[in-house]
């Protein structure tokens, strides 16, 4: 639905914190090129999203309000598709841009496809190799690739994956990951809020470990075991401390309170704003995480990362030597912690490694590719 008498129009859909972090630079870059840009929020994660909307000065043009307590992926998908149907008809975009592998992104790709609207996929071509791990993200991203028209691959390895799956080369752009754009922008001025600044001051001189864990495959015994290992590691080493921004999911908060509540030198935080989170990364000695986004953020800021997952769709970080894949066993996490505690050679080497996820110009490349193709 190209327009001869006016500039192209895109709709940009997001619903979670990582989506907004990676799409905010794309929105800005598209507007700079004169592309009409309409924003849609699914509000899949309402409370986690708002601080980032404020931080990036994003104006939401349409809010689908799909969030419900205890919602399942099917709940999000069904409400998202139904509400997008009327919104996309009203907007009439040339392209819908989605990011990553969330249920919001999949719902958007399905809704746009069914309406004959082209789909652009930011962070295309990631694969873990296991359709059910991470769940449902791995299958979401595979399905989006089948529906998408334009594929913005962060790395050449992602591009090769798409080519093997039959995506035409002309529809793929290797752009880098726009998370690097956001990180480099905010890192220049990132300052912790007063409460976090006080905690950082209290732990000055200690080796700080930053933990993030929230994925479904980590729930239950896996998360409990990992938290116990970290609790015991901190307790036995007085020169260490742990900072954990606790996800709002009840499955995370319950076990966190049971295992880590009241432990010395362990700081349980509410979800952080982006500048706070970057400041915390910058002040950390080591990061432990099951997050996909943190696998990009840590190496972008030169910080070593232990990935507490069975597999990863971001092998570039492992191959570059900035991250280590621990697996889902708490015994393996304990062994890795003891190894880095006894020998910091790897810790020190990470700062010297080249960032495998780009140079901070991904959004410009994405917007330029959109402009050429629509």
Q: Is 76 in the same domain as 169?
A: yes
Q: How far apart are CA 251 and CA 246, in angstroms?
A: 11
- The helix or strand, by DSSP H or E, that contains position 324, with its residue range, turns out to be strand 323-325
Q: Is 316 in the same domain as 366?
A: no
Scored b (16 or more CB within 10 A) or e, 259-278 reads bbeebebbbbeebbbbbbbb
Q: Is 172 in the same domain as 211?
A: no
User: Helix (H, G, I), strand (E, B), or coil: what is residue 343?
Assistant: coil
Q: Is 289 in the same domain as 336?
A: yes
DSSP letter string over 194-242?
Answer: HHHHHHHHHTTTSEEEEEE---GGGTTHHHHHHHHHHHHHHHH-TTEEE
How many domains does one find in the chain?
A: 2
pLDDT recorded at residue 17:
87
Q: Is 288 in the same domain as 308?
A: yes
Residue 121 within a domain = yes
Q: Give the side-chain half-sphere CA count within 13 A for 149.
A: 15
Plot region of 205 (φ>0 → left; ψ -120 to 50 → alpha; else → beta)? left
Q: How far apart are CA 129 and CA 131, in angstroms?
A: 6
Query: Cα dihedral sign for 19, 25, 28, 31?
Result: negative
- Tens-of-pLDDT digits for all 374 residues of the chain? 444 447 899 999 999 988 999 999 999 999 999 999 999 999 887 776 777 788 788 999 999 999 888 889 999 999 999 999 999 999 999 999 999 999 999 999 999 999 999 999 999 999 999 999 899 999 999 999 999 999 999 999 999 999 999 999 999 999 999 999 999 988 888 889 999 999 999 999 999 999 999 988 899 999 999 999 999 999 999 999 999 999 989 999 999 999 999 999 999 999 888 889 999 999 999 999 999 889 999 999 999 999 999 999 999 999 999 999 999 899 999 999 999 998 999 999 998 888 999 999 999 999 999 999 99
pLDDT recorded at residue 48:
67
In this structure, how many other beta carbons lie within 10 angstroms of the beta carbon of residue 129? 10
Q: Annotated catalytic sites, by residue? A: 101, 123, 137, 214, 216, 247
Nearest of 307, 306, 301, 320 to residue 360 by alpha carbon: 301
| Residue numbers of the domain that contains 247 | 194-352
Residue 270 within a domain = yes
Residue 166 within a domain = yes
In this structure, how many other beta carbons lie within 10 angstroms of the beta carbon of residue 247? 18
Q: Is 48 in the same domain as 81?
A: yes
pTM as predicted: 0.86
Q: Is 124 in the same domain as 223?
A: no
Q: Is 58 in the same domain as 118?
A: yes
Contact 44, 66 (CB under 8 A): yes
Q: How far apart are CA 276 and CA 284, in angstroms?
A: 12
Q: Is 201 in the same domain as 75?
A: no
Residue 1 within a domain = no
Residue 185 within a domain = no
Residue 184 within a domain = no
Q: Is 38 in the same domain as 137?
A: yes
Q: Is 166 in the same domain as 248?
A: no
Instruction: Give the list of residues 6+ apart from residue 237 with CB closer than 8 angstroms, or none.
Output: 207, 341
pLDDT recorded at residue 369:
98
Residue 157 within a domain = yes
In this structure, how many other beta carbons lie within 10 angstroms of the beta carbon of residue 53? 17
Contact 109, 121 (CB under 8 A): yes
Q: Is 242 in the same domain as 149?
A: no
- 236 exposure class (CB count in 10 Å sphere: 0-12, 13-18, 19+): exposed
79-83: which pairs have CB atoms within 8 A and are 24 or more residues apart? 80/15, 80/42, 80/44, 80/104, 80/107, 80/108, 80/111, 81/107, 81/110, 81/111
Residue 148 within a domain = yes
User: Helix (H, G, I), strand (E, B), or coil: what is residue 44?
Assistant: coil
CATH of the domain at 238: 3.40.50.2000
Q: How far apart are CA 289 and CA 361, in angstroms?
A: 26
pLDDT recorded at residue 2:
45
């Amino acid at each position: 639905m190209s327009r001869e008498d006016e500039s192209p129009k895109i709709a940009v859909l997001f619903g979670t914190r990582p989506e907004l972090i990676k799409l905010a630079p794309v929105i800005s870059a598209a507007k700079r090129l004169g592309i009409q840009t309409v924003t849609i929020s699914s509000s899949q994660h309402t409370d986690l999203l708002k601080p980032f909307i404020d931080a990036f000065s994003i104006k939401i043009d349409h809010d689908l309000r799909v969030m419900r307590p205890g919602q399942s992926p099917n709940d999000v998908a069904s409400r998202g598709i139904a509400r997008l149907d009327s919104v996309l008809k009203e907007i009439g975009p040339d392209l819908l841009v989605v990011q990553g592998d969330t249920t919001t992104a999949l719902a958007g790709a399905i809704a746009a496809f069914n309406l004959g609207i082209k789909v652009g996929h930011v962070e295309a071509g990631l694969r873990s190799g296991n359709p059910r791990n991470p769940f449902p993200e791995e299958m979401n991203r595979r399905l989006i690739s089948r529906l998408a028209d334009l594929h913005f691959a962060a790395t050449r390895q992602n591009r090769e994956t798409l080519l093997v799956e039959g995506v035409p080369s002309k529809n793929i752009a290797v752009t880098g990951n726009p998370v690097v754009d956001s990180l480099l922008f905010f890192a220049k001025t990132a300052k912790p809020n007063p409460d976090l600044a006080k905690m950082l001051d209290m732990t000055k001189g200690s080796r700080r470990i930053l933990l993030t864990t929230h994925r479904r495959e980590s729930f239950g015994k896996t998360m409990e075991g990992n938290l116990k290992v970290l609790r015991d590691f901190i307790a036995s080493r007085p020169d260490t401390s742990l900072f954990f921004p606790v996800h709002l999911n009840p499955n995370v908060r319950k076990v966190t309170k049971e295992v880590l509540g009241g432990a010395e030198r362990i700081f349980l935080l509410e979800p952080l704003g982006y500048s706070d989170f970057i400041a915390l990364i910058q002040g950390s000695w080591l990061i432990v995480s099951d997050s996909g986004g943190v696998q990009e953020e840590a190496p972008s800021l030169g910080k070593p990362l232990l990935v507490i997952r069975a597999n990863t769709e971001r092998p570039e970080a492992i191959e570059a030597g900035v991250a280590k894949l621990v697996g889902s066993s708490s015994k393996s996490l304990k062994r890795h912690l003891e190894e880095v505690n006894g020998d910091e050679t790897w810790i020190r080497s990470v700062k010297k490694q080249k960032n495998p996820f780009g140079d901070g110009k991904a959004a410009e490349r994405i917007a330029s590719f959109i402009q050429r193709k629509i």
